[in-house]
Amino acid sequence: MEKRGSVFEVTEIVINDDSCRESMGKGKGRYITLECGEISRFSEKYEKMALELSQELSRLIPQGDIFVVGLGNRDITPDAVGVLTAEKVLATRHLRSELSSEEESFLTSLRPVSTLAGGVMGQTGIETAELISAVCREIQPSAVIAADALACSDISRLGTTIQISDSGISPGSGVSNARRELSQNTLGVPVIAVGVPTVVDMHTIVRSLTGKDVDEKLPNMMVTPRDIDRLTERAAQLLAYGIDLALQPTLSFDDVRGLF
């Protein structure tokens, strides 16, 4: 385990094999957690937060074209973080072919980035993994960045952390609705997952407050903060800034902020 960070308290755990998959639900990979105050609140250190997030993402992103995917359902506020993030990321893959030689500028020198917020299977009838896999076969990116809302296993992390890993992600797994995983095994390219916890289940809350185990047979429900609208919007914006700055290091924070 390694700890670092200035604006965030950053913890990185490296798991070298899949022996923890059953006990911890985590396979081989790097897991980075950025902890701060509540993301939904205004912070005078917002620019530094975006820059530090971009630095942590840069550790995992390879060179080449990148495909940014927003997971989730924009019609359900706690599940909209991924979709809103992808919508705010700068798409640049088309610029080199669309701009003529007379129009060439710094825009054509930007890293090619594609984005997609395809919705959920209940909206499209298409498994998320099927859709993303089909696009990957067509555009052949060097890596996929998957942004999503997360469920947390510790109530203190609700709306206060950003979680990153290079081991992929299973959409919906946090709310017991897991779809096919997105990973290098399924897509053929590295998958960097990034997200913010927006929900926690009631059993976890009871365990956190009482220190006692809960009978898993008892009814359970998902709970979200009362300022979830603000949390979702600000979390998505911060993730998008971090992704843009990581993918386009020639752009400043002001450049990225001025794009949206």
pLDDT tens for 72-108 read 999 999 999 999 999 999 999 988 776 655 455 666 6
pLDDT at 88: 95
Q: At residue 160, does pLDDT exceed 80?
A: yes
pLDDT at 122: 75
pLDDT tens for 109-147 read 789 999 999 888 778 888 889 999 999 999 999 999 999
* Global pTM value: 0.91
- Give the chain's domains with CATH numbers: 2-198+226-250 (3.40.50.1450)
pLDDT tens for 222-253 read 999 999 999 999 999 999 999 999 999 999 99
pLDDT at 62: 97
Angular region, 219: left φ>0, alpha ψ -120 to 50, beta rest: beta
Question: Which whole-number Å values give the CA distances from 44 to 39, 49, 70, 88, 251, in the listed order?
Answer: 12, 10, 27, 21, 21
pLDDT tens for 43-56 read 899 999 999 999 99
Of 13, 135, 4, 3, the closest CA to residue 68 belongs to: 135
Residue 43: count of CB within 10 angstroms of its CB? 15
φ, ψ (nearest 5 deg) of residue 134: -65, -40
Q: Are 231 and 100 in contact (CB under 8 A)?
A: no
